[in-house]
Structure 1
Amino acid sequence: MTTEPAPGGDPRTGADLTALGRVVARQRAELDRLRDQVSTSAVIERAKGAVMATTGCTPDAAHEELVQRAKAGNRTLLEECWLTLGALVDVAEPAPAGTRAEAGPGAPSPAPVDTPPGTDAVAEVLGRVGRALVRVGTPQELAGSLLEHLGPQSGADAVMLFRRLPVGGLELIGHAGLDATLAAQWHQVPPLGEVAAIEALTVGEPCWLEDTGADHGQHVLIGDRPEQWLSRAWLPVTAGNRANVVLGVLRRHGGPFMPRERELLRAVARLSAGRLRAFDASPERPAGDVAHAVQAVFDALPGAAVLLAPLRSAAGEVEDYRIDAATADAVDVFGRTGRDMVGRYILESYPSVAGEPLWQGYLDTLTTGAPFESEPFAYQDEVAGVPVTATYTVRAARLSDGLLVTWLRQDPVERQEQRLADVQRLGNLGWANWNLLTQEIAWSRETYRVLGRSRARGPVRLEEMADLAQPEDAGALSSALAGLVRHARPFDVPFRIRTPQGLRHLRMVAEAVTEPDGTPAEVHGFVQDLTAQRSAELALVESERAMLLQRGVLQAEQALAAQLQHALLPLPSKPRHLAGLRVEVAYLPAQSGIHVGGDWFSAIQLADDAALFVVGDVAGHGLDAVATMAQLRFTAKGMASTGSSLTGALARLNQLLLQSRDGQITATMVLARYDPVARVLAWAQAGHPPPLLVRDGEPHYLDRPVGMLLGASAAPLYEPAELVLRPGDRLLLYTDGLMERRGEGLDAGLARLAEAVRPCGGVHASLADLLAAMVGDERRDDVCVLDIRMPV
């Protein structure tokens, strides 16, 4: 009936947890070593298989069970998995000395010294067996699955499962590896004391038959030729507090069962208990006056309820619950109802209980006595053969030493109303109904909120709805309402209202229910608050308007920059000849911002037939950089034209920059004068990259004379330098934008420029080719180049 949780906690006492903590601490060193040898995921899968086999739960529920146990015990998941696997391996019977080291409960068992080559670790085998047992449906299938897994690991040649009969003796309920004749002969076993299987059930301990000669004198051995099974083992299978089934493992080879084999067989017997519990056709009947009294009351009560008795392990942990009483409406996943469920276990009747929060809630109620109520959950019922999904709540209360558990189904009408309320709240809308014949009006709670109206004032008549709107919207809403009432014309109209919280943007949608003659009889619809959406739309419109305005400003600034560029720095359309030199100019603005910056050049003929060459770079972009560039460019030309020395001109330009810009802008510059008679180029520089000379096919940079950045100091020092040009020389004056590249240093850029300007086949690359090789697709700075060539 319900997806109850598996044991979600580990309710150990404080002393138990303290002792377990000490054990876990001693085992951590061993666990660290084992983590390097065994995959964590493999260990988890094995532990999941063990939990699945013992509880009958799903893989997901088994994993959740392990997680909850780890949290409750303050352990890691891997440690909990080892503890789970170790708990299945019965270590009560000590192995012979020297077979394995001592380990605390739950510690991973190292492979014993007598493990045959090729056999797997016990934990790994248990993981495979546990996963396989979940799929078996009968004791016969269980026997076959056990033989399949135990054969390669313990040498088993046959497996038998006997169940104790109420009158004594045994009944064969499953077998594998036996012929049909032998199985029929041993189908019923009388209550004889010499039968090893009965002895194992009686004493509750395994019976190991490892010497055929000696065993034949003490026991009745199975088989027409008993010597065909040279070694046997009979292990009681304990389900709950009972041991009514015994597992027999028969081998054709003699010799004792090794410690690892005994360990494995004990663990497999414990794993089989979970499946055998589900096959038990004779459930354990409750004893005691409380169960009988509760059942008598349950027989007269409607609804689904059960009385649960906790089943505890030797350590006091709740392993399962027995159903001691059930109402007629209670049903389990196998279709059993009412009294047919009594005596069954919860993990048999509701396998999906594993891994759910309900299990921990049951444990808390048992421990504290406080009632527990679960969160609502969905479950699929079947009504008249049709699956119907319903919502339930489970409640648990302690009764004597057990639990009284009830399932409460939520009323469908209440669920529908809750869903409708949730839709209105999430959609920010409310429904409204106007009966035009009886004049009855019904509004939902959300409608009052959307309209900003107190519920104490009551709803508004349909024809008065337009009065709530702003005057400029009232006409459209009034016209829509008239068309609805007169002609049953539906509408969807936006309008605004004024509330104490401010102006709201609303939407009203309505339609009419008409009489057979077409007369509107009832109007139903909804009002929705669209203020948030409308505010977002208005903000978007305003943003678009601001963007358009900004775009216009940017376009105007770009147009002004272009005009300034043309006026302040006109570019020649073709190479010029100055003082016998061929001069070509290139200027490329940066690709971001306005297309003009602080880079500039000058190439003019002076009055004495000399030529003046200037390349400069003002830091930054924009109109301030342009203004500074113009000031420096024209001042430098004026001073050079009046005969000022190059170093004197740089010093006065530095002073001018400090005074006019308050020391906030800096600039670099190369200033050169060429004498055509002496063929001497005199030059000075202020923090600028060195000129590049190509002579006889080899490029090299000129040594820079002393010269400080303009605008950086009030007392700079500038020194001149000279270069005698030879026929065929090529000289490049440039700004740093020519060699800059993202993520590259200055030296690398200079090296690239030197390589790009190197002649190929004795022919110099053109300025256009040089720019194509040096400048990438993205220019972060302006590029200015003066290409000066001495004719051959």
Structure 2
Amino acid sequence: MDEPRVPTDGGASDAVALARTVARLRARVDALEETLATSTLRERAKGALMAWEGLSAQAAEAALTRRAEERGRSVADECWAVLGATRRAGRTGTSRGDAAGGGAAGGPGTAGPDVDAVQAVFDGLPGPAVLLTPLWSPVPGEVEDYRIDAAAPRSADPAGRRGGELVGLRVLETYPGLAGTEPWRGCAGVLLTGVPYESGPFPYETAGAPRRTTWTVRAARLGGRLVVTWARHGDAAREAHRRHRMERLGDLGWAEWNVRTGEVAWSEQTYRIFGRDPAEAPPTCEELPSYVVPEDAPRLAAAVRRLLREGRPLDRTFRIATPAGVRHLRLVAEPAAGGRGPVDEVHALCQDLTAQRRAEQALLESEREVLAQQGLLEAERALAARLQQALLPRQEGPLVVAGLRTEAFYLPAQAGLSVGGDWYSAVELPDGSGLFVIGDVAGHGIDAVATMAQLRFTAKGMVVTGSPLPDALVRLNALLMHAPEGRPLTATLVLARYRPWDRSMTWAQAGHLPPLLVRGGVAGYLAPPAGIMLGAARDCSYEERRFTALPGDHLLLYTDGLVERPGEDLAVGLDRLARLAGGAVRGAAGAEHLTVRLTEALSPTRRDDICLLHLTLPVDGA
């Protein structure tokens, strides 16, 4: 074997240099291998976070660095912890949120505090808050929905559900409009990273709502769940003003009682309705009956007990004593259960019914007065009717007065409680002549009948004593001008005197409709002499006219109820009467019962009384 060759000084120097180069290259290779291994480890851990927590590559890199710093270890150690947690999750079936957190306390891998403990904290919150449990989808890192497992009492949704009514609802099933929104993505980030999130104001449109509303959402991770709070923006003042106006217009107020904590909240209007100072503490539910008048307290106390013990809604009216007097109130209340008993809260509306009750009482008293007045009017009508029957006895058939066949007819109005002032008179005077009168006194009732009686007897007395017809009307006018206050002051009248020995008919009128003369089948109205209605003026004068009656003549004296119709010119009614009277006389039935036939034809529905005198001068020998 050859001996090893001993290098010379120059060769030894070259060998040392070569050895140093090799060592340097070996160290660089070792560093590269370590860097490559570390990089591979980081990439594997990043991949695990991206798969299990749905993070981007950049977010996963940042999460590894942040977690390593928070836990005081190297990034490599954090990478091994993430990979170890992933392997454990694969073996045990742990949820994605649990695996991503590596089981660290407070991370999404832990369930966090018990739901009952969270609810107990929520019960003391003054605003809305819910606890959301994620429901993971089969796609790695994606949340399919959230379930509401706890809710603060002041939490409310657009549908009116409050507090415990929200527990158990799924977010997207109940509020599908939240899918894909910025707050939805923000909550997913909180769940996976643990960094609290607060949205900017974002619009949200609720199905069935008249317009969009703006909200801010805040979320924080609690174990493997989320605590979410929210606030509405933009129209708080307007909504408060609208609510206050609605309460004022409807005399309404709201009240809320927290049965477990004893907290009570009343609106400003409720204080006003109860007559209490807002600085005073409002009463509890159990104390309400003490504010009620003694007669109503037992019923309200029983209803409150049923509400609090059995959860039965309350709807009662009662009276309370206030500094302004007794008020009538209606209280409508319903319970709200929070899972710890039949009733956790009571929400109520109260309404002041005092004005309504006073109006009802006034209406009742008015109805009583109307009934009493109606009874008096009925009695007055009956008395007036009896007086009228005494003054105007019904004729069973035609009479002969001073040689004239006389048919008298009176028909009261179909409507109204009072008897009218229409009247007639047909009497034979001591000298053998006949006096025929028809008149209409203004007004109805006892006063009208009394005035009618006065005119009837006074006119007869004046004519019997020989007064000319115009003078009689002047005196009758003076009689009405001096009538007692409250009595009818005006009347219309026709006076006619027939002398059978020369068949002359003298007549005068005071503002009355003219007589209708049917002669030879032709009807025409007599030209009226001058004269105004009685009681219209103190200084007045009257005239008279005269004509000679012929055998077969028919003279009709009548009141305006026979010809007047609402909304129709009087001339139309007069033409109708003349046409019908002339036709009736010419007809086969002749003038028999002419008064009845005319009233039936002319006034099927009577709005006023009708008085009619039919005077006939028979044909010689008839």
TM interval, shorter chain, is: 0.5 to 0.7
8 Å CA contact 2:421–2:441 kept in 1: the answer is yes
CA separation in 1, counterparts of 2:358 and 2:450? 44
Query: AA paired with 1:772?
Result: E
Give the whole-Å Cα distance in 2 for the aligned partners of 1:458 and 1:595: 63
Letter matched to residue 599 of structure 2: L
Aligned partners of 2:389, 2:269: CA distance in 1, in Å?
67
1:697 corresponds to which residue?
521
CA contact (8 A) 1:511 1:525 kept: yes
Partner Cα distance (2:295, 2:501) in 1? 88
Aligned partner of 1:656 among 479, 485, 498: 479
After superposition, what is the alpha-carbon deviation per residue over 1:615-635, rounded to whole angstroms, capped at 9, x for unaligned?
122234343332221101011
Superposition pairs for residues 459-474 of structure 1, below 5 Å?
459-474=282-297
- 2:610 paired with 1:783: yes
Counterpart residue number, 2:565: 741
Match of 1:751 among 575, 579, 582: 575
How far off is 1:420 after superposition? 8.4
From 364, 380, 391, give the equivalent of 2:213. 391
- Secondary structure, aligned partner of 1:463: coil
Counterpart of 2:605, as a letter, is: D
Matches within 5 A, 1:448-467: 448-467=271-290
Match of 2:389 among 555, 566, 575: 566
1:712 Cα deviation after fit: 4.2
Contact preservation (8 Å) 2:438, 2:557:
yes
Q: Distance in 2 between matches of 1:431 and 1:718?
A: 79
Alignment of 1:530 with 2:349, yes or no, is: no
Distance change in 2, residues 1:730/1:547 (3 Å) = same
Give the equivalent residue in structure 1 for 2:596.
Answer: 768
The Cα of 1:423 is off from its aligned counterpart by: 5.1
Equivalent position amino acid for 2:292 in 1: A
Could you tell me how far apart the structure 2 residues matched to 1:707 and 1:459 are?
81
Deviation digits for residues 714-744 of structure 1, max 9, x if unmatched? 5544444433322211111122333333444
Residue 475 of structure 1: CA displacement? 2.5
In the TM superposition, what whole-angstrom CA distance separates every residue of 1:688-728 from its partner, at most 9, and x where no partner exists? 33222111111222333444543345554444443332221
Counterparts in 2 of 1:746 and 1:378: CA distance versus 1, 3 Å: farther
Query: Structure 2 matches for 1:128-207, cutoff 5 A?
Result: none
The yes-or-no answer on 1:726 pairing with 2:541 is: no
Return closer, same or farther for 1:696/1:598 CA change in 2, 3 Å cut-off: same
Cα gap change, 1:455 to 1:571, in 2 (>3 Å): same
Letter in 2 for 1:579: A
Q: 1:646 aligns with which of 455, 469, 473?
A: 469
Q: Which amino acid aligns with 2:246?
A: L
State the alpha-carbon separation in 2 of the partners of residues 381 and 514 from structure 1. 28
1:654 corresponds to which letter in structure 2?
N
- C-alpha separation in 1, matches of 2:547 and 2:210: 99
C-alpha contact (below 8 Å) 1:561/1:594 kept by paired residues:
no
Equivalent residue for 1:479, pick from 302, 306, 309: 302
Question: Aligned partners of 1:507, 1:617: CA distance in 2, in Å?
Answer: 58
Stretch of structure 1 that moved more, 542-551 or 731-740: 542-551
Q: Take 2:205 and 2:319, find their aligned partners in 1: how far apart are those partners?
A: 48
What secondary structure is seen at the aligned counterpart in 1 of 2:513? coil
CA shift in 2, pair 1:460/1:747, >3 Å? closer
**CA distance change for structure 1 residues 677 and 588 in 2, over 3 Å: closer, same or farther?**
same
Task: Report the Cα distance in structure 1 between the residues aligned to 2:497 and 2:469, rounded to whole angstroms.
Answer: 8
- Aligned pair in 2 of structure 1 residues 707, 531: CA closer, same or farther (>3 Å)? closer
Aligned residue for 1:578? 401
5+ residue gaps, structure 1: 1-334, 338-376, 394-409
Offset of 1:452 from its aligned partner? Answer: 2.8
CA 1:458/1:676 → structure 2, altered by over 3 Å: closer, same or farther? Answer: same
Query: What's the offset of the Cα at 1:545?
Result: 3.1
**Whole-Å Cα distance in 2 between the matches of residues 607 and 529 of structure 1?**
79
For 1:665 and 1:480, the matched residues in 2 are separated by 66
Structure-2 change in CA distance of 1:434 and 1:421 (3 Å): farther
- In structure 2, what is the Cα distance between the partners aligned to 1:522 and 1:580? 99
Which of residues 496, 499, 507 in structure 2 aligns to 1:683? 507
Q: 1:555 aligns with which of 349, 368, 378?
A: 378
Distance, in Å, in 1 between the alignment partners of 2:300 and 2:422 is 65
SS of the residue corresponding to residue 618 of structure 1 reads: strand
Q: Match of 2:494?
A: 670
Describe the superposition over 1:275-334 as per-residue Cα deviations: whole angstroms up to 9, x where unpaired.
xxxxxxxxxxxxxxxxxxxxxxxxxxxxxxxxxxxxxxxxxxxxxxxxxxxxxxxxxxxx
- Residues 380 and 446, structure 2, Cα contact 8 Å, conserved in 1: no
Tell me the secondary structure at the aligned position of residue 547 of structure 1: helix
Separation of aligned partners in 2, 1:785 and 1:454: 76
Give distance in 2, aligned partners of 1:688 and 1:784. Answer: 13
Give 1:470's aligned amino acid: V
Change (3 A) 1:379 1:558: farther
Residues 605-624 of structure 1: pairs in structure 2 closer than 5 A: 605-624=428-447
Unaligned runs of 5+ in 2: 1-179, 183-200, 216-229
Shift of 1:471: 2.6
Q: Given that residues 379 and 389 in structure 1 are in contact (C-alpha distance below 8 angstroms), is that contact kept between their aligned partners in structure 2? A: no
Evaluate the alpha carbon distance shift between residue 456 and residue 704 of structure 1 in structure 2; reply closer, same or farther with a 3 A threshold: closer
Instruction: Give the TM-score normalised by the residue count of structure 2.
Output: 0.55
Taking structure 1 as reference, are residues 455 and 671 closer, same or farther at Cα in structure 2, changes over 3 Å only?
closer
Same amino acid, percent of matched pairs: 51
CA 1:643–1:578 in structure 2 vs 1: closer, same or farther (change >3 Å)?
same
CA gap of 1:579–1:483, structure 2 versus 1, over 3 A, is: same
Q: Secondary structure at the match of 1:703?
A: coil
Helix, strand or coil at the partner of 1:672: strand
After superposition, residues 272-311 of structure 1 pair within 5 angstroms as: none
Per-residue CA distance 1:563-604 (angstroms, 9 max, x = gap): 232223223233223233221122234455444223211012
Between the aligned partners of 2:506 and 2:205, the Cα distance in structure 1 is 102
CA deviations 1:756-781 (Å, max 9, x no partner) are 211358334522222234336353x4
Greater shift, 672-681 or 595-604, is seen at 672-681
CA 1:709 to 1:426, structure 2 compared with 1: closer, same or farther past 3 Å? closer
Aligned partners of 2:502 and 2:295: how far apart in 1? 88
- Contact 1:433–1:524 (Cα < 8 Å) also in 2: yes
Is the contact between residue 293 and residue 320 of structure 2 (CA under 8 Å) also seen in structure 1?
yes
Q: How many residues align?
A: 399
**CA offsets, 1:90-145, max 9 Å, x none?**
xxxxxxxxxxxxxxxxxxxxxxxxxxxxxxxxxxxxxxxxxxxxxxxxxxxxxxxx
For residue 471 of structure 1, give the secondary structure of its aligned residue in structure 2: coil
SS state at 1:573 partner:
coil
Show the counterpart of 2:411.
588
Check whether the contact 1:558–1:594 (CA below 8 A) recurs between aligned residues.
yes
Q: Is the 8 A contact 1:688 1:709 kept in 2?
A: yes
1:786 CA displacement: 0.4
Residues in 2 aligned to 1:495 and 1:382: alpha-carbon distance in whole angstroms: 39
Q: Distance in 2 between matches of 1:612 and 1:378?
A: 101
Q: Take 1:757 and 1:773, find their aligned partners in 2: how far apart are those partners?
A: 10
- Alignment CA distance shift 1:420-1:609 (3 Å): same
**One-letter amino acid matched to 1:785:** L
Q: Distance in 2 between matches of 1:686 and 1:593?
A: 27
Match of 2:28 in 1: none
Do the aligned partners of residues 477 and 751 (structure 1) sit closer, same or farther apart at CA in structure 2, a change above 3 Å counting? same
